[in-house]
């Protein structure tokens, strides 16, 4: 009996042990399942399924544009605009209207006698403008006395030389020691002012545009277009365009619109391209019109509003210069005009090298013959 009791006790103990271990296994499994489902529900609720894909695919370079943006804003922007055209066509007034600043505070208007004695003078004015924390250093290069003389053959030579000098300065700075702080004074855009009173382009306009076309982005503008009716502006524009075509002049070509741009952007881009050459109006006056303070020109018969798209193409020109194409103008200057200047310079310097080597060889030969003759 004692033996049977001992066996039963051991069996009982074993059975209890098995039951307890089974219960604990089931319990731990249950706890794991509950934890896992809680985690899944939490992840699913907070980010949904895509988070797992994102986690797998997100390296971080999507923030690169932000980094570039921050760095560029910190560094600030620089832009050099050149205005070329006869005196009195409204160049200075337009520049002031474009950047809402008075760039020519201390200017001295020359009288007829002084103008006769003056040759083409290039002046550079710099203003630093800030808008919403973005700084722009704007250089405006003005060509005073252009087209004022009877013989204007060399008027554009000065302008062309100035552009070349800036390229040369940049090339030297690029191969110099302090490459970090290069001042970029290259001319990024040239507003070429065409008189509203002539019939299309004058011979001087054609010559000048031809001389500058491979050095700078030329944007033709019809000056003082408030003196022309709507039809006259249309006719003048089409005549100027056909003459540009006829003389094979190269003006700044707007880049094609990207395929992913929205409808509104495409429409604005089309309108912009259709406005070339821009018929512009400038004014240094701010007047009150129906309670609005606007830049305008006051006439006895009414008010011409500078920023009204029905009155002129001023807004299209400003949007293009400042909002949409400033970077493209800079890229074109660097990638096309400056590269072509560098290529020409390299070609010239290599030619000089070859001639130099050839001359050295001949010099040595002559020297040898002379020495031989003396020895003989
Ligand atoms: N009608 C008209 N006159 C203008 C316009 N812009 C400037 N002017 C006037 O033309 C004169 C010469 O302007 P200015 O800007 O000094 O010409 P710049 O010599 O080419 O710089 C000034 O009396 C201006 O008031 C314009 O769009 N229309
Ligand atoms: Mg001026």
167 and 200 fall within a common domain: yes
Same domain, 105 and 233: yes
Residues 145 and 13 in one domain: no
- Is position 126 within any domain? yes
Same domain, 48 and 183: no
Nearest Cα residue to atom 1 of ligand 1: 224
Mean pLDDT comparison of 5-14, 112-121, 123-132, 336-345, highest-scoring range? 336-345
Give residue ranges with CB within 6 A of ligand 1.
87-93, 224, 226-227, 281-282
Total residues belonging to the chain:
376
Calpha distance 122→84 (Å, rounded): 10
User: Based on C-alpha coordinates, what's the Rg of the chain?
Assistant: 37
Residue 174 covered by a domain? yes
* Least reliable range by pLDDT among 5-9, 109-113, 225-229: 109-113
Same domain, 82 and 185: yes
Structure tokens at 155: 């008027």
Which of 84, 92, 93, when mutated, tests ligand 1's pocket best, judged by the most ligand atoms within 8 Å of its CB? Answer: 93
Ligand with smallest separation from the Cα of 89: 1
Residue 176 and residue 52 share a domain: no
Q: Are residues 31 and 107 in the same domain?
A: no
119 alpha carbon – ligand 1 mean position (Å): 21
Q: Which DSSP helix (H) or strand (E) runs through 124?
A: strand 121-131
Q: Which atom of ligand 1 approaches the CA of 283 most closely?
A: 6
Please give the share of the chain, as a percent, with pLDDT higher than 90: 33
pLDDT at 76: 81
Do 29 and 119 lie in one domain? The reply is no
CA distance 251 to 213: 7
Cα of 220 from ligand 1 centre, angstroms: 17
Please give the Cα distance from 313 to 323 (Å, whole number): 15
The answer to whether 167 and 175 are in contact (CB under 8 A) is no
| Strand (E) or helix (H) holding 341 | helix 339-375
* CA 110–ligand 1 middle distance (angstroms): 14
Identify the CATH number of the domain in which residue 286 sits: 3.40.50.300
Q: Kindly state the helix (H) or strand (E) to which residue 281 belongs, with its residue range.
A: none
**pLDDT of the residue at 53:** 58
In this prediction, residue 311 has a pLDDT band, given cuts at 50, 70 and 90, of very high
Q: How far is residue 282's CA from residue 225's CA, in Å, rounded to a whole number?
A: 9
The first and second tokens of residue 64, run together, are: 């690169």
Residue nearest to atom 9 of ligand 1 (CA): 90
CA gap 159, 120 in Å, rounded:
8
296 within some domain: yes
Helix axes 50-57, 2-46, angle to 10 degrees: 80
| pLDDT at res. 114 | 55
Ligand 2 centroid to Cα of residue 220, in Å, is 17
* 86 and 206 fall within a common domain: yes
* Cis upstream peptide for 338 (omega within 30°): no
Which of 126, 125, 142 minimizes the C-alpha distance to 86?
Answer: 142
For ligand 1, atom 28, the nearest C-alpha belongs to 224
In a domain, 176, yes or no: yes
141-167, pLDDT tens digit by residue?
Answer: 988 777 766 667 777 888 999 999 999
Three-state DSSP at 126 gives strand
Q: Domain total for the chain?
A: 2
- What domain range is 297 assigned to? 77-339
Q: Is 62 within a domain?
A: no
N- to C-terminal Cα separation, the chain: 146
Residues 30 and 162 in one domain: no
Query: Residue ranges of the alpha helices (H) in the chain?
Result: 2-46, 50-57, 64-75, 91-98, 112-117, 155-175, 203-212, 230-246, 263-274, 314-318, 326-332, 339-375
Condensed to tens digits (0 to 9), the pLDDT of residues 193-223 reads 999 998 889 988 999 999 999 999 999 999 9
The SS3 of residue 67 is helix
- Pick from 106, 282, 297, 298 the residue to mutate for probing ligand 1's pocket: most ligand atoms within 8 Å of its CB: 282
Nearest atom in ligand 1 to the alpha carbon of residue 142 is 21
Q: Is 376 within the bounds of a domain?
A: no
Nearest CA to ligand 1 atom 14: 90
Q: Are residues 25 and 141 in the same domain?
A: no
Task: Answer yes or no: is pLDDT of 322 > 90.
Answer: no
Residues 50 and 82 in one domain: no
92 CA to middle of ligand 2, Å?
A: 4
Instruction: State the distance from the centre of ligand 1 to the C-alpha of 135, rounded, in angstroms.
Output: 28
In a domain, 227, yes or no: yes
Residues 329, 217 contacting (CB under 8 angstroms): yes
Question: For residues 83 and 143, is the Cβ–Cβ distance under 8 A?
Answer: yes
- Residue 120 DSSP code: -
Burial class (CB in 10 A: 0-12, 13-18, 19+), 335: exposed
| Ligand 1 centroid, distance to 92 Cα (angstroms) | 7
344 occurs within a structural domain: no
């Amino acid at each position: 009996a004692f033996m049977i009791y001992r066996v039963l006790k051991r069996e009982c103990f074993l059975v209890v042990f098995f039951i307890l271990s089974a219960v604990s296994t089931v319990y731990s499994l249950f706890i794991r399942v509950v934890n896992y489902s809680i985690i899944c529900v939490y992840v699913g609720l907070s980010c949904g399924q895509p988070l797992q894909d994102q986690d797998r695919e997100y390296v971080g370079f999507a923030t690169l544009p932000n980094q570039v943006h921050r760095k560029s804003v910190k560094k600030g922007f620089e832009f050099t605009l050149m205005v070329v055209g006869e005196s009195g066509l409204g160049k200075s007034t337009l520049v002031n209207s474009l950047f809402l600043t008075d760039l020519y505070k201390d200017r001295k208007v020359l009288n007829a006698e002084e103008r006769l004695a003056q040759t083409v003078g290039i002046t550079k004015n710099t203003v630093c403008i800030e808008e919403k924390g973005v700084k722009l250093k704007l250089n405006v290069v003005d060509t005073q006395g252009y087209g004022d003389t009877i013989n204007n053959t060399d008027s554009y030579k000065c302008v062309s030389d100035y552009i070349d000098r800036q390229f040369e300065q940049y090339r030297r700075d690029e191969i110099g020691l302090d490459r970090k702080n290069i001042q970029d004074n290259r001319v990024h855009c040239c507003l070429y002012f065409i008189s509203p009173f002539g019939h299309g382009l004058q011979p001087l306009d054609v010559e000048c545009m031809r001389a500058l076309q491979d050095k700078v982005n030329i944007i033709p503008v019809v000056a003082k277009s408030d003196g022309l009716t709507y039809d006259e502006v249309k006719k003048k524009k089409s005549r100027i365009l056909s003459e540009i075509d006829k003389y094979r002049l190269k003006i700044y070509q707007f880049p094609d619109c990207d395929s992913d741009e929205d409808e509104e952007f495409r429409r604005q881009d089309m309108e912009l391209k259709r406005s070339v050459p821009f018929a512009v109006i400038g004014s240094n006056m701010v007047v009150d019109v129906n309670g609005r303070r606007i830049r305008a020109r006051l006439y006895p018969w009414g008010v011409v509003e500078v920023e009204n798209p029905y009155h002129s193409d001023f807004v299209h020109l400003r949007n293009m210069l400042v909002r949409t194409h400033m970077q493209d103008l800079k890229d074109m200057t660097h990638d096309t005009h400056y590269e072509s200047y560098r290529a020409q310079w390299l070609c010239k310097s290599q030619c000089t090298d070859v001639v130099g080597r050839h001359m050295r060889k001949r010099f040595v030969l002559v020297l040898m013959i002379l020495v031989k003759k003396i020895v003989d």
